[in-house]
């Protein structure tokens, strides 16, 4: 555990990064860049919803290369970010895969299927020359088979909403996260109240993760919330770090 005197930090994490989501993110990223010295972790989907293969988007790949050169981090975020597995077989599985989300790609995969997709994603990163240390499952949903597959790969971490996990041991490190559900006005209102409460609750936490999604960028309320929250956390003395940089700090503590 980090010592109480360790500097407090924040992590700005962009989910669902793909060519079609970049227009949503672009104005926000430009606003963050204007602040200076705010590294970000980009969760990159190799073929978002089977229609955004990175290999067919050289301009976007060059953009990601420039982000790496600026000090940002790229992490693997599923492969398709779409749940295209067999139909749910139980009420609980139906809830997770059809009500909670339709994008829990790694929720129902066995070890072999998960390993195949993970290795394909890592191979794509390798062809692009992109370093990769982390994997985040879409909607943070992972089957036991996915967990076993991750133990076999040269990755450093994975994460859930409240923890980062060192691989291959799955050693949990507390790293609470804020996230919005911005698809409708009532969800945005509830998200604001919940995140405000969580910010107060976790005021003394050693780190806070801000988990942004493309849909957040389509609504002024959620977009402005993330910008203002970032500014407020920096004013409290929190240092922006990528996930990998934060793990480096934990290892030294």
- Cβ(11)–Cβ(246) below 8 Å: yes
- CA atoms of 175 and 249, how far apart (whole Å): 13
CA diameter of the chain = 50
- CA atoms of 166 and 149, how far apart (whole Å): 14
- Sort strands 157-159 and 134-135 into parallel, antiparallel or unpaired: parallel
For residue 241, the model assigns a pLDDT of: 98
- CA atoms of 134 and 154, how far apart (whole Å): 9
For residue 6, the model assigns a pLDDT of: 66
Average pLDDT of every residue of the chain: 91
Band (105; pLDDT cuts 50, 70, 90): confident
- The residue among 150 and 101 whose pLDDT is bigger is 150
Dihedral (C-alpha) 14, 223, 221, 201: value to the nearest 10 degrees?
50
Mean pLDDT calculated for residue range 166-179: 96
H helix and E strand count, the chain = 8, 10
- pTM more than 0.75: yes
- Give the tens place of pLDDT for each residue, 66-96: 999 999 999 999 999 877 766 666 555 544 5
- Cβ(104)–Cβ(96) below 8 Å: yes
The CATH code belonging to domain 9-177+237-252 is 3.20.20
Return the closest-CA partner of residue 213 out of 45, 8, 36: 45
> Quick check: helix, strand or coil at residue 57?
coil
- CA atoms of 111 and 124, how far apart (whole Å): 20
**Residues in a beta bridge with 173:** 164
Buried b (16+ CB within 10 A) or exposed e, 89-108: eeeeeeebbeeebebbbbbb
- Give the tens place of pLDDT for each residue, 107-131: 889 999 999 999 999 999 999 999 9
- Give the tens place of pLDDT for each residue, 179-219: 999 889 988 999 999 999 999 999 999 999 999 999 999 99
Mean pLDDT calculated for residue range 223-243: 97
Band (1; pLDDT cuts 50, 70, 90): very low
């Amino acid at each position: 555990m980090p010592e109480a005197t360790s500097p407090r930090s924040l992590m700005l994490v962009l989910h669902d990064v793909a060519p079609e989501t970049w227009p949503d993110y672009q104005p926000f990223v430009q606003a963050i860049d204007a602040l200076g010295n705010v590294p970000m972790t980009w969760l990159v989907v190799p073929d978002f919803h089977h229609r955004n293969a990175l290999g067919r988007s050289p301009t976007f790949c060059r953009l990601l290369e420039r982000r790496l050169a600026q000090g940002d981090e790229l992490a693997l975020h599923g492969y398709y970010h779409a749940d295209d597995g067999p139909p749910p077989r139980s009420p609980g599985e139906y809830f997770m895969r059809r009500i909670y989300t339709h994008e829990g790609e790694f929720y129902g995969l066995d070890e072999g299927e998960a390993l195949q997709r993970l290795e394909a994603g890592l191979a794509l990163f390798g062809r692009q020359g992109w370093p990769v240390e982390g994997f985040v499952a879409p909607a943070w949903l992972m089957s036991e088979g996915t967990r076993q597959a991750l133990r076999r790969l040269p990755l450093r971490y994975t994460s859930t909403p409240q923890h980062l996990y060192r691989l291959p041991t799955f050693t949990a490190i507390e790293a609470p996260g804020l996230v919005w559900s911005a698809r409708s006005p009532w969800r945005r209102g509830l998200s604001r109240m919940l995140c405000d409460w969580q910010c107060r609750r976790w005021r003394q936490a050693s780190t806070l993760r801000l988990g942004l999604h493309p849909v957040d960028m389509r609504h002024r309320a959620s977009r402005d919330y993330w910008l203002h929250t970032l500014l407020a956390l920096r004013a409290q003395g929190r240092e922006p770090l990528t996930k990998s940089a934060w793990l480096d700090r934990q290892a030294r503590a």
